[in-house]
């Protein structure tokens, strides 16, 4: 068997394995595929139809991660699907293009009212695009997806400590392999939030295990 054939078979097996990690309620409309782009992100999701989401994975980079790291990063993406935070094709880009085209055209004909309308359309669509892609919004959505990924991991048999450990390890690896400082900062913020969440859960579990008498004495 050639290396290329062996590699292709390993990739197919990995995609099949990941599909088994989808919750049953998502299996009919969420697709898992290898990315065909040049230099794609490690993992991302996009809407490919009215009721269909595709999770795309850069299998070359994916192969360098440990299995537990892959699982938690995959469940993070699944959580984004469940939270309905996958970017959708909206009207904003089309409106921005129309507005810019109209503004240029009206500069030539010098129609003040139409120019004002075109600039207003540009402003509204540009503001909506900024809202959708603002850094604060995306990091909040990512942290919420991390929390749900932990819950998904426990649903699939992970202990809570191991789920936190695996996702934390995955984020540390992403920080190390990401050259972009801006992207690294997002992973670092997610890691810090994950550590805070793990500490809260650990404290909550310890509180729950304390004898009743001891807890009463502290009140």
What does pLDDT average to in each consecutive run of 10 residues of the chain (219 residues)? 73 95 94 90 87 92 96 97 75 44 47 56 52 68 95 96 97 94 93 95 77 42
In this structure, the dihedral spanned by the alpha carbons of residues 49, 52, 54 and 55, taken in order and rounded to 10 degrees, is 140
For the beta sheet containing 43-49, the strands, ordered from the edge strand earlier in sequence to the opposite edge, are: 30-34, 52-57, 43-49
CA distance 67 to 200: 26
Distances from the Cα of 17 to the Cαs of 66, 70, 71, 99, in angstroms?
Answer: 14, 11, 10, 46
Interacting residues of 106 by C-beta distance below 8 A, sequence separation 6+: 114, 115, 118
Threshold 0.85, pTM exceeds: no
Confidence (pLDDT) at 206: 78
Confidence (pLDDT) at 122: 53
Confidence (pLDDT) at 211: 55
Confidence (pLDDT) at 99: 43
The alpha helices in 48-134, defined as continuous H runs, are 59-62, 67-82, 92-109, 112-133
- The DSSP call for residue 173 is H
Q: Which residue matches tokens 């537990």? A: 68
Q: Which residue matches tokens 């048999």? A: 157
- The DSSP call for residue 24 is G
């Amino acid at each position: 068997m050639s290396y290329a054939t062996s590699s292709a078979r390993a990739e197919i097996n990995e995609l099949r394995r990941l599909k088994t990690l989808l919750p049953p309620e998502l299996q009919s409309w969420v697709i898992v595929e290898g990315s065909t782009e040049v230099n794609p992100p490690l993992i991302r999701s996009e809407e490919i139809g009215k009721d269909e989401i595709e999770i795309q994975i850069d299998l070359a980079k994916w192969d360098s991660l440990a299995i537990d790291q892959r699982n938690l990063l995959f469940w993070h993406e699944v959580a984004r699907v469940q939270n309905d935070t996958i970017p959708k094709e909206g009207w904003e880009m089309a409106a921005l293009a129309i507005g810019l085209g109209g503004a240029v055209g009206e500069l030539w004909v010098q129609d003040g009212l139409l120019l004002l309308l075109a600039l207003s359309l540009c402003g509204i669509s540009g503001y909506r695009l900024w809202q959708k892609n603002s850094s604060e919004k995306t990091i909040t959505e990512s942290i919420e997806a991390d929390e749900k990924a932990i819950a998904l991991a426990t649903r699939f048999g992970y202990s809570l400590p191991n789920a936190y450990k695996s996702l934390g390890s995955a984020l540390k690896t992403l920080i190390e392999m990401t050259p972009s400082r801006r992207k690294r900062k997002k992973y670092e913020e997610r890691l810090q939030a994950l550590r805070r969440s793990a500490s809260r859960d650990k404290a909550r579990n310890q509180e729950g295990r304390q004898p009743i008498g001891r807890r009463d004495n502290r009140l």
